Amino acid sequence: MRILKLALFILGCALMSESLLLGIEVDGERDEGYGDPVAVQRIQTGFGDPGSELDAAYAIVLEEKLYLMITGNLEPNFNKLEIFIDSKLGGQNKIIAKENPNNDNWSAKFDGFTFDSGFTADYLLIVRHGLGGTQLDLDFAELGEGGKGSLIGRFDPVSLGRPGPFEASNGVVIGFDNTNSAGIGSTQGQLANQESASLVSTGLELSIPMNLIGSPRGEIKICAMINGHGHDYLSNQFLGSMPEWTRNPGTNGQGEFVQDSSLKDVDLNDYEGDQFFVVSGPVTPLQIINLSYDAESENVSITWASYPDSFYTIESSIDMKVWQEMDDGIESQGEQTTHDHLILGNKDKSRFYRIVKE
C-alpha cells in the first residue's frame, strides 16, 4: 500500500519580542513599546489648566492584556475619566439606565446618552480622583441586563510615593502620574497644538485582562471622556477628539448644568468625526494546527488559526522551492478554519503545505 508522506510548513507571525513586553511598566508614564498614538487631542480643554485634559491615547494588546495609556491630567475634585469599551457583538449605542448596573450612579446620569454610530458600549471603567487630592478610585461595569458594576480598587499614589503599578480586585492594573504641566492649553475649544499633546508622557495607564472584556480577537473600540464629579456635566475632552471650537457639552449638550437631569440630550453624532478610537486586536500567528489524510478518499484536511472576515489561499510544494496554488478565496470560519482538498498527481512524493492570507 502506498503511503502519502505529508509535512506541515508553518508560517509564523512574530507578534512582539518579550523584551518589548517587559518594557511596558504600568506606572502612568508612557513607554516606547506603545509606539505611535492611536488618538491625539485636537482642542484645548474647557476644564481648567492644568485641570482635566486628555492629550493622547496609546494602546497595544500583548500576552492577552490590553495595555492602555491616556496621557494628560485628572483634576483632584472627583472629576471622572470615563472609558467605554466596545469589544464584542451587541452592546449599547444609546445608554438605557434600567438595562445597566448603576455603580457610582453612572447609568442614571448617562440615561439617553448616544455614542457615535458604529460604537456600542459593552464595558465601562470609571476613574475618580479626589479625597484629599491624592486618592484614586477605580470602578468597572459590564453593561447590559445582568451586568454587574462595582468599585474594584482604591489607591493613593501620592501617599505611597509611587505612581504604580496597583492591582485592582478583578485583575486590572493601574498606574497614575498626574504631574503633567504641558499639553494643550485652556482656551476652550480652540485648536490645540497636537505636537505638544503628543509629547506629553504621563497620565493614566491600565493593563486590562482580555477575558475581562469578552476575549475579543478583532478590533477594540474605546471612547474616553472627562466628566464632572456627578457624571452629569461633560467636558469637551474626548478621545477621539471633538472638532475645533467645541465647548463643554455640559448636561444638555449646550454647555449648561441641569440639576437632576441625565445626559439624554447629548448625541455624539452631532459632532464631526468619531469620538472613539480603534485598537488593533491580538495578532494570531498564522499557523497550521492540524493536518490529516484519508487514504480511501485521498483527501487532505488542513486546519489553521485564522482571523474572522478574512480569506486564504492554500499552496502545496514537493520541494519547498516551487509552490503551486491548490485553492484560493477560502473564507474564514472564525478563529479556526478547516479545508479539504483532493490529492492529485504523484502520491508517492512528500508534500508540504502553506497557508497565505489574501
**pLDDT tens per residue, range 249-267:** 999 999 999 999 999 999 9
Kindly state the average pLDDT of the residues 309-330. Answer: 86
Residues 6+ apart with CB under 8 A from 115: 84, 93, 94, 121, 223, 268, 275, 276
Alpha-carbon distance of 25 to 61, in angstroms, equals: 14
In this structure, what is the dihedral angle of CA atoms 139, 145, 146, 147, given to the nearest 10 degrees? -20
Specify the pLDDT at position 49. Answer: 72
Between residues 352 and 215, which one has the greater pLDDT? 215
Is 312's pLDDT higher than 70? Answer: yes
Between residues 91 and 317, which one has the greater pLDDT? 91
Kindly state the average pLDDT of the residues 344-353. Answer: 67
Strands 277-279 and 234-239: unpaired
Question: Residue 120 half-sphere exposure, CB side, CA atoms within 13 Å?
Answer: 8
Alpha-carbon distance of 268 to 275, in angstroms, equals: 7
In this structure, what is the dihedral angle of CA atoms 16, 173, 38, 33, given to the nearest 10 degrees? -30
Q: What is the chain's alpha carbon radius of gyration, rounded to the nearest angstrom?
A: 25
Alpha-carbon distance of 314 to 302, in angstroms, equals: 9
pTM of the model: 0.78
Specify the pLDDT at position 211. Answer: 94
Tens of pLDDT along 166-199?
Answer: 999 999 999 999 999 888 999 999 999 999 999 9
Kindly state the average pLDDT of the residues 312-321. Answer: 85
Tens of pLDDT along 129-170?
Answer: 887 778 899 999 999 989 999 999 999 988 888 999 999 999
Residues 6+ apart with CB under 8 A from 90: 120, 122, 144
